[in-house]
Every structure is written in C-alpha cells, then in structure tokens.
C-alpha cells in the first residue's frame, strides 16, 4: 500500500475525539478508509513512542478518524532489527470473542500521551476476530504483547483510554535518562511486557 508523504496527524489525550465510539468499517474499503490506513502507517513511521522510543501500534481515532481499525508493526518482523518498524499489518473491525479469567499487570504507553505511562490490568490471553484489508475474517489467539496491543486498541474504538483502567501512573519525564529508566525497568521487571 502506498504511503503518503503528507504530514501526519496525532490526536492527544484531552481531545474529545478520543472519547467517542468508532464505526465499523465496510467493504470494499472506501478511498477515505484507505487514506486513514495510510495516515496510521505514516504516523507510526514517524511518531516517537515511549517504549524503545517507538510505537508498536496506532488506532484510527488517534489520527482523527472514528473508524474501527488499527495498524501495528507486523508481528512476523518484531525481532527483525531492520524491518521491525517498516512492515505493518492493518487490523479491521477487531473484537474480543474470548478472554482468559487469568489477568496480568503491565505498563502501557500510548502515543497520544507523552507524559505518563500506566499500569493496567487486563486478561492475559484473548481470542480475537478481525478482518484484513480484503475483508477476510481471521480468528487469532493472542498472548503477551499481542494480547495487550489488541486490548489497548479495541479500547480506543469504545472511546476508552488507558487512564480508565490505570492502577498506577509513572511520569515519563522521570524516566528520560538511561539510569532512571534502567532503575524503573529493574524495579518493574515483572510488569513489563518485553518485545
């Protein structure tokens, strides 16, 4: 898919757009939806996230479109140093169809929030159903970071943000230098999903 060279948009916490429910995407994809996907990819390519200073995924409302779709770094390349942030996967109309009773805590960052990360409890494993850009339906069992990404992004479609679930916050400013970050990592190693 072509990536536009247009400047990207990023909607931040506090904007009422992030508090609205999103619409299901219809097929075949309209030009506007195609453009939204491009905008998400373009934003992911450029934006500075907190973890590893990059972001793994972004939802359409974060670029200002109230559609149920998100783009994430393609998991097949997560551990590939050169392609990690160059290959993307678009997830359309995702829903959680099963969730484990077992929950887990992890620190989450959101590209719409620069100042804080949040400790959030969520089901450990989820089974999700979504469509590809061609409208093909897929079921996927998600563990670890993948499970987090789906749950975090699906929340965005309901107008929810990580603040709504947070058990604790941490200021990202306090973690800006390497020493503080390493200290935080060590102290919270059980709660950080590594990828």
Name the catalytic one among 31, 98, 121, 153: 153
Q: What is the smallest separation between the CB atom of 74 and Zn ion, expressed in angstroms?
A: 18
Indicate the residue whose CB is closest to Zn ion.
110
Give one DSSP letter per residue of 116-156, joined into a string.
Answer: EEEEEEEES-EEEEEE-TT--EEEEEE-HHHHHHHHHHHHH
Query: Considering beta carbons, is residue 27 or 45 the nearer one to Zn ion?
Result: 45
Spatial CA neighbour of 37 closest among 67, 74, 17, 76: 67
SS3 76: helix
Q: What is the smallest separation between the CB atom of 156 and Zn ion, expressed in angstroms?
A: 6
Q: Is 153 a catalytic residue?
A: yes
CA distance 191 to 93: 29
Which helix (H) or strand (E) segment is 158 a member of? none
Binding mask 94-133 for Zn ion (x = CB under 5 A): ----------------x-----------------------
Distances (CA, A) of 99 to 96, 137, 187: 7, 19, 28
Q: What is the smallest separation between the CB atom of 4 and Zn ion, expressed in angstroms?
A: 22
Query: Considering beta carbons, is residue 110 or 133 the nearer one to Zn ion?
Result: 110
Q: In the window 41-60, what residues touch Zn ion (CB under 5 A)? A: none
Among all residues, which ones are annotated catalytic?
Answer: 153
Footprint of Zn ion (CB under 5 A): 110
């Amino acid at each position: 898919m072509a990536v536009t060279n247009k400047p990207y948009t990023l909607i931040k916490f506090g904007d009422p757009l992030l508090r609205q429910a999103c619409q299901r995407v219809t097929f075949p994809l309209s030009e506007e939806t195609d453009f939204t996907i491009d905008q998400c990819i373009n934003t992911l390519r450029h934006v500075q996230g907190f973890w590893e200073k990059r972001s793994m995924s972004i939802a359409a409302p974060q670029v200002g479109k109230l559609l149920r779709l998100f783009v994430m770094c393609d998991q097949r390349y997560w551990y590939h140093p050169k392609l990690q942030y160059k290959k993307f996967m678009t997830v359309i109309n995702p829903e959680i169809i099963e969730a484990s009773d077992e929950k887990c805590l992890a620190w989450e960052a959101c590209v719409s929030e620069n100042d804080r990360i949040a400790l959030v409890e969520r089901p450990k494993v989820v089974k999700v159903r979504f469509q590809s850009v061609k409208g093909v339906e897929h079921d996927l069992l998600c563990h670890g970071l993948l499970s987090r990404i789906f749950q975090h992004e699906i929340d965005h479609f309901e107008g929810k943000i990580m603040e709504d679930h947070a058990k604790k916050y941490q200021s990202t400013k306090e973690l800006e230098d390497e020493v503080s970050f390493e200290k935080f990592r060590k102290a919270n190693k059980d709660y950080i999903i590594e990828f």
